Structure 1
């Protein structure tokens, strides 16, 4: 069993996921780079190792049951446990996503990755997380999933265009986060949602105003919470985000 703390970050071959892996690796952690594309995954691992980070590749498509189970077996075989799971993999879906015009296939595809993928990976990795002394689960959400910020007399106008598939997927993910936190209350597993802010990534056509490293900071913070820290909460860099 690895003596270092071990993390798995899904969708870690680029963008925020890569920077989360880099941030945890800089703390001396051993980091699994979860990604479905073999070439991009290998390139990310090579780049992280060149920076002195103890990284290893984890073939992982969060939409496939067989592949997710295989990823859990790989981590069990190589590491013996998992200390942190960061569910970062997500897609935005084809645009535009006006509610009255959206293609239902787009909604299904986004939910399959952004919500069902999180459930699938979390359930596969929980037996390994339970072997950790301080297990943490971080779900990468977004303020566009906050009902409080998207409603009322002055909804958040920084959220970009209406996104019938993507935005509700993050609301659903927030609810999923709460359900896990409720079931796991009284255990050492802390489960929280994180909002990285409006980060420039290919998900938004690089229109964001924050860097991937800035967006990754809150995930690293929640991944390294002390024992007895908050669980079932939603945070960004400024603190709690309203549901």
Structure 2
């Protein structure tokens, strides 16, 4: 039986870490579905990928618009009939580091609409395709800024950070990873979170950062290209590590999550 080409959908893949991930996975032989809100920017990304010899096609996808999500799922079903990898990369950070008492609720809603509700909406829409492509995987791009333990630790560099909308949305992403991982494990679909770290992209409106885009994408690429079915319900990162090695890896125990386990997740699993 001829093995099907690995089919990977990446949201927000027309620039930054999403585009770098698409380029790296394409060079490893995967066929990329480049999710992009804007047709022109998406086509520019596709042209760059094709020039580099990468197999890719454009999927117009706005994670905040149910209609485009449904259309994208129908497009993939009609063209391919399955999906192997979903990388939920699209994200925003609209907070201006105001104290929580001054942060507009609408700003927080916008953070959640993209980072959490958009991620969940895309995941739900793609699950039938992922089941047809199983063993399959979902990779959620998260952040250690969603860590309850770091945010409450006076010795942490995140203790002084004010970014309630973004931080809370990424904490929600980590719980989405846990809950989807538990539900989808019998279907041979793994779900993991990755923190790319502070990367030099235009994310958040600036190009400051501690590492290159390739370094930020390294762990996402590693998980997406790994054939091991055992990696599930984890949070990993490469933040600041130019070699692309896993800096932290804490799998959640394979049993019912108790209050103690939840406390451990907050204080230990996402340092």
Q: Which TM-score tier does this pair reach, normalised by the shorter chain?
A: over 0.9
1:142 and 1:171 map into 2 onto residues whose CA distance is: 8
CA drift of 1:206 comes to: 1.0
1:40 and 1:160 map into 2 onto residues whose CA distance is: 36
Contact 2:136 2:188 in 1 (8 A): yes
CA drift of 1:234 comes to: 0.4
Partner of 2:177 in structure 1?
Answer: 177
How many aligned residue pairs are there? Answer: 242
SS in 1 for 2:82: coil
- Per the normalisation by structure 1, the TM-score is 0.94
Unmatched tracts of structure 2, length 5 or more? 239-246, 251-268
Unmatched tracts of structure 1, length 5 or more? none
Deviations 1:148-205 (A, max 9, x none): 2222231234x88411111111111001110101111233100000000110111241
Using CA pairs under 8 Å that are at least 6 residues apart, name the structure with larger relative contact order, 1 or 2: 1
2:160 and 2:211 map into 1 onto residues whose CA distance is: 15
Match of 1:239 among 225, 248, 252: 248
- From the CA coordinates, give the structure whose radius of gyration is larger: 2
SS in 2 for 1:223: helix
2:235 and 2:80 map into 1 onto residues whose CA distance is: 29
CA drift of 1:239 comes to: 2.6
Indicate whether 1:9 and 2:33 are aligned: no
Contact 1:188 1:227 in 2 (8 A): no
Give the aligned CA root-mean-square deviation in angstroms.
1.7
SS in 2 for 1:21: helix
Q: In the superposition, relative to structure 1, how do residues 227 and 47 fare at CA in structure 2: closer, same or farther (>3 Å)?
A: same
CA drift of 1:2 comes to: 9.3
Indicate whether 1:104 and 2:105 are aligned: yes
SS in 1 for 2:94: coil
Partner of 1:75 in structure 2?
Answer: 76
> Where do residues 97-176 of structure 1 align in structure 2 (5 Å cutoff)?
97-157=98-158, 161-176=161-176
CA drift of 1:139 comes to: 0.2
Contact 1:134 1:227 in 2 (8 A): no
Partner of 1:58 in structure 2?
Answer: 59
2:220 and 2:106 map into 1 onto residues whose CA distance is: 30
Partner of 2:241 in structure 1?
Answer: none
1:96 and 1:216 map into 2 onto residues whose CA distance is: 25
